[in-house]
Every structure is written in C-alpha cells, then in structure tokens.
Amino acid sequence: MGKYNNMSWVLAFVGFMLLGGICKANGAIYNYDFVLREENFTKLCTTKSILTVNGSFPGPTITVRKGDTAFVNVHNQGLYGLTIHWHGVKNPRNPWSDGPENITQCPIPAGTNFTHEVIFSSEEGTLWWHAHSDWTRATVHGAIIILPALNTSYPFVTPDAQETLILGSWFKGDVNEIIEEALATGGDPNISDAFTINGEPGDLYDCSNETTYRWLVDYGKTYLLRVINAVMNEEHFFAIANHNLTVVAQDAAYIKPITTSYVMITPGQTMDILVTANQSPSHYYIASTSFVDGDVAFNNSTTTAILQYNGNYSAPSTIPLPNLPDHDDDTAAANFTTQVRALASEEHPISVPVNISHRLFITVSINERICPNSSCDGPDNNALAASLNNISFVTPSIDILQAYYGGINGVYTPNFPDKPPYFFNFTGLVQNNTIYPSFATKVKMIKYGKEVEIIFQGTSMIAAENHPMHLHGFSFYLVGTGSGNFNSTTSPKTYNLVDPPEVNTIGVPKKGWAAIRFVADNPGVWYMHCHLERHSSWGMNTVLIVRNGNTTETSILPPPAYMPPCSKS
C-alpha cells in the first residue's frame, strides 16, 4: 500500500463530488501497487517462469470495507502487455477501470504503469482480481476481501478468524503458448497438469508433499472461509473431510445459510463459508476436483490442502479425504446450486425487477469454424469455435469503450440480436445449420434504467456442457434455471422472484437454461462471457453497452487523464 500518485487524489476528490445515487463514495481510500513480473516456481518436479504480481502465486490480497475505493497502480515489469480486471466489482459509472483487453482498455504495455480506480459499492464478502488478457489469468490473480462497513456487522455469528483458499490451475507449459497453439490447430487446448489450492497442488500429486498448503485451526473456533474458483477450464466440487460447510455468501452477496458436505463452484464464483473446528484435533484433507458433465477433455485429478488442528496430538497415519461427487454428477451439482437463495433481510434487502422492459434470449453454443487449410484438429476436420446467439465474438484492436465514448467508427456494430437466428430443439440430437456461427464484434445497446431479463439457453451443438456465464459491471438475480428448452409459457412459472441469489457468474446447466434479471443502472461498456477460458477464447462473449441516463449522476465518469494506448496492428 502506497501513498503517492497525486492524480489519484485529484480523481478521488472529483469522484467524491460527482458520485450520486447508485454509489455513495463515503468510504476510505486505499492505494495499492501491483508489480507484474516473471518469477520462477517449481511444482510437480518442474521449474518454470510465470507472470506474477509481486512475485507471488496467487498474488496479493486487496482488503477494503463496503463502499471504499482502492487505487491500484499496476506496474508492468513483465514481457508483454496485459490488463487486470476486478471481478464482481461494479465500479459504478467507471468502466475505465474494469480492465478486459480491448473491451474497456488496451493492454498496459511492458515497462509502463496504469492506475485503476476500483470503486466498491454494494458488494460485501469475497471477490477477486485477475488478468483479462489471453490466458494470463492462470497465474495473475488474487483475492478481494470486502468487510462490512464500519459500525455494521456480518448477518451471522462473528467468526473468530478468517481464511482464504484460492483454487487454481497449473500448467507445466506456457499458458499463452497453449491457447495460441490450440487456436492455430483448431483443436482443444491441452488440459492443465494439476489444480492448486493457494498455489500448491497437494500431496496426491508427485513432488508436492512438502509444499501442501496447511490451514491451521484451533479447536472450537468458527472460521469464515473465503473460497475463490480461479480455475481456467473446469467447474469444481469442493469439500473438507468430516466438516460441514455453512455457505453464507456467494459473489459478495449474502445468502440464506446452507449447511452441506460439499459445494459446486464455477470458475469466476466466490463463496463465503462458515467452518467450525469441532472434530477431534487431527489432520483432515480439504479437496477439490472437476465437475464436468460434458463429453470433453478435462483434468480429472484432485487437489488437496490440509486442515490441521493446533495442539499436541500424534498425526494420523492416514488423513481422511472428503467424499466428493463423481465428476459428471450433475444431480449433485444441481442439488447444491438450487438451494442458493438470497438472504433478503431488512439489512440486506434485494430488489428484483418485475416489469421487464428488455428481454434477451441468448443461445450458448460450441461451434465449428471452417478450417482454412482443411486439416484442423477440431470436429469434421474443422476448427472449434463458440458463440452467443450464433455470433462468435471477434476482439477488436481498439477498445470498445474508447470507440463508444469517442465516436470512433468501424470498431464494433451495435446490433447484437435479441434472439438466435432460429428456434429449434436446442437440446435435441439434431444439429441445425447454426453449427457455423458468424464472426463479428456485435454489441447490445441498452437504455439506462431498463429492467433487463436474459435467458441463456445451453445447446447440444458439438458438445453440451455447463457454461459459467459472467457479466461485468453488475450483479444480477438468478430467477430460474431448468433443463431442456426454455418454454416461455411454463418456465417463467417456476421463477423465484422472492429471494433469488444476487450473483455475477452463473453456471447455465448442460442442455438447460438460466434466466437472470437486473436493472441497467450502471452506464458503461460491460463484457459478458463464459468463464471457461477456452470457450471465451473461441468467441463465447459479447458486450452490453448501457447508455447514459439523462443526468450527470447517471452518466459515465470522464476518462482518467491517462489510458494505455492502443497500438496499430
């Protein structure tokens, strides 16, 4: 945490003067410096150099209270340009700091710095930050802890202490080379070599015994455990042997407590979990493994850490492992996810839009791209692609925010459709001609203040799978999920409009649908994409542009004095 950067203070002051309704900037100001640099790590008996923030994997934690603002100056001492995103932070009116590459900014060139103004508003709980360029987020990520505002408290027993566990992916190879090669051949990228908990694979893998992460606890204490899924390409089941998990928040919003033996957490999601150390003092495995219900290649290994009680006792000869559901057990996944309900209390109310003024129906599909040289590694000798409403997103080389704000033509078109080109049996066996998407940079324009509903419809094109869809700039209410095709007569009757969870990432069930609602009250340019990294690389993305309202308080903040330049390419 630093003290400098005069411009930050000027901007903070201006922010104080301007911020109105949707954000009260009455919180504290923090300054962080992030130094991006290469660092060597040895895991699985192999040493490699990875890009890190401040030499650590995972990177440093940002801790604030609800409503605070953090200025994070990212100094890029790495080898290539990249960007950082504050996942789940709404950043009211301030898309300038959101981060996705060529959506809200161009990469921070190596050898330069860029200060993000990260404005916290309604979030409370756990979020995270990560690189948002190529596959760099594999190693460039860390936790964001948002404590209750001063003079307020948790809506549950005050924990004795807290702990953060970040689930990650470890590749022996260079992550950006892996995705570049996959895009060049058209096939699936290599699967990871291990999963990690706080950077360590755990002793079920070779060469990981001495470095297995240990969480030390005192008997009788209750801990607030913050779990972040930073895995690249797999959703996960997570559990602790012999210990119940009481989930109290998801994506930095409180939920009605769920006591369970395991959770299903998708890449992009975060969960706050109460864990009471009430078992005989000993060692217990914490374990996490893939939930993949599609016919796709995935890493089926299990990462572990050890929950270790303090005190004098002899270590067990065998450490108990928790029972995790089978990798393809979508019933177990749904059993957990369908229990999640917003807390919806007087102190933590929710406000679900009921009069929908803008409805989008979006198909979420894996597709094929015609192979330029007729020998690609994907299905039918074509290349793999992915789409939303049959449009495979093409990332521009000038950021969309700059193009929108500055009126630069030719960067995007404002015609992302409200529905797919055809309605057919999306979850059936017969494949329609939508197998080949179009490739374009289409964005959806939304008027300020509209009450929006998006129905994500998973399809069985190429490979049906659960897709964790993530929206920047908002949290949204998950009002319904179901299997098969969404039916506009019967499906809405199953909606939960009483206490739907308020989240930023949601797994659209395999061959099923998910319906979300939110008020478009955050003007800006906001990326929406699958958080399985390979699907995003294949084009399972789009952008929502929420126009300005009719007042200064409902309009995008002016850009900061400096934004990283877009290079000619």
Q: Residues interacting with ligand NAG, by CB under 6 A?
A: 32-33, 35, 38-40, 49, 54, 60, 75, 101-102, 106, 112-113, 203, 209, 242, 244, 259, 300, 325, 329, 331-332, 335, 395, 397, 422, 424-425, 427-429, 432-433, 448-449, 485, 487, 489-490, 549-550, 562, 566-567, 569
CB of 433 to ligand NAG, least distance (A): 4
Q: Which of ligand NAG, Cu ion, none binds 331 (CB below 5-8 Å, type-dependent)? A: ligand NAG
| Contact by Cβ (8 Å): 409, 395 | no
| From ligand NAG, Cu ion, none, interface partner of 101 (C-beta below 5 to 8 A by class) | ligand NAG
Strands (E) located in 378-450: 383-388, 391-393, 438-440, 443-446
485 binds, options ligand NAG, Cu ion, none, Cβ within 5 to 8 A by partner type: ligand NAG
**411 close to 395: Cβ distance less than 8 angstroms:** no
State the minimum distance, in angstroms, from the CB of residue 315 to ligand NAG: 8
Q: Do 144 and 251 meet the contact criterion of CB atoms below 8 Å apart?
A: no
Residues paired with residue 75 on neighbouring β-strands, in sequence order: 35, 113
Q: How near is the Cβ of 110 to ligand NAG at its closest, in Å?
A: 12
Residue 251 CA to residue 36 CA, distance in Å, equals 26
Q: Which does 532 bind (CB under 5 to 8 A by kind): Cu ion, ligand NAG, none?
A: Cu ion
Instruction: Between 361 and 477, name the residue whose CB sits nearer to ligand NAG.
Output: 361
Residue 417 binds what, of ligand NAG, Cu ion, none (CB under 5 to 8 Å, by partner type)?
Answer: none
CB of 540 to Cu ion, least distance (A): 5
**Least distance (Å) between residue 292 CB and Cu ion:** 11
Within 497-556, the residues that bind Cu ion by CB under 5 A are 530, 532, 535
* Spatial separation of the C-alpha atoms in residues 233 and 449, rounded to whole Å: 34
Residue 313, helix vs strand vs coil: coil
Least spacing, CB of residue 298 vs ligand NAG, in Å: 8
Q: Which residue, 280 or 345, is less far from ligand NAG as judged by CB?
A: 280
393 phi and psi angles, rounded to 5 deg: -70, 135
Asked whether the beta carbons of 361 and 455 are under 8 A apart, the reply is yes
CB contact at 8 A, 53 and 36: yes
Q: Are strands 391-393 and 222-229 parallel, antiparallel or unpaired?
A: unpaired
- Least distance in angstroms from the C-beta of 535 to Cu ion: 3
Interaction between residue 467 and Cu ion (CB under 5 A): yes
CA distances (Å), 10 to each of 14, 16, 117, 167, in order? Answer: 6, 10, 12, 37
Looking at the Cβ atoms of 510 and 535, the one nearer to Cu ion is 535
Residue 467: which of ligand NAG, Cu ion, none does it interact with, CB under 5 to 8 A by kind?
A: Cu ion
| Minimum CB distance to Cu ion smaller for 36 or for 384 | 384
Distance, in Å, from the CA atom of 229 to the CA atom of 212, rounded to the nearest integer, reads 18
Look at residues 248, 142, 239, 132 and name the one whose alpha carbon lies nearest to residue 533: 132
Q: How far is the CB of 345 from ligand NAG (least distance, A)?
A: 21
Residue with tokens 């209270």: 65
Question: Residue count at the site for Cu ion (CB under 5 A)?
Answer: 4
Residue 411 or 530: the one with the smaller Cβ distance to Cu ion is 530
> Least distance from C-beta 416 to ligand NAG, angstroms?
18
Q: Contact, 437 vs 416, CB < 8 A? A: no
C-alpha span between 395 and 442 (Å, rounded): 10
For Cu ion, the binding residues in 219-278 under the rule CB under 5 A are none
Alpha carbons 545 and 523: distance in angstroms, whole number: 7
Smallest Cα–Cα separation from 223: which of 162, 165, 281? 162
The two three-digit tokens of residue 196, written as one number: 């990690």
Nearer to Cu ion, 404 or 538 (CB): 538
- Any bridge partners for residue 266, and if so which? none
389: left (phi over 0), alpha (psi -120 to 50) or beta: left
- Residue number with the shortest CB distance to ligand NAG? 428
C-beta of 489: minimal distance to ligand NAG in Å? 5
Q: Find which of ligand NAG, Cu ion, none residue 260 binds, CB within 5 to 8 Å per kind.
A: none
Residue 332 contact among Cu ion, ligand NAG, none, beta carbon within 5 to 8 Å by kind = ligand NAG
Binding site partner of 422, from ligand NAG, Cu ion, none, Cβ cut-off 5-8 A by kind: ligand NAG
362 close to 388: Cβ distance less than 8 angstroms: yes
| Residues 72-101, interacting with Cu ion (CB under 5 A) | none
177 SS3 class: helix
> Residue 428 binds which one of ligand NAG, Cu ion, none, with CB within 5 to 8 A depending on kind?
ligand NAG
- Contact between 533 and 232 under an 8 Å Cβ cutoff? The reply is yes
- Pick 441 or 537: Cβ nearer Cu ion: 537
DSSP code of residue 122: S
Q: What is the smallest separation between the CB atom of 385 and ligand NAG, expressed in angstroms? A: 16
Residue 75 or 253 having the CB closest to ligand NAG: 75
The encoded tokens of residue 416 equal: 């992302």
Which positions touch Cu ion (CB under 5 A)? 467, 530, 532, 535
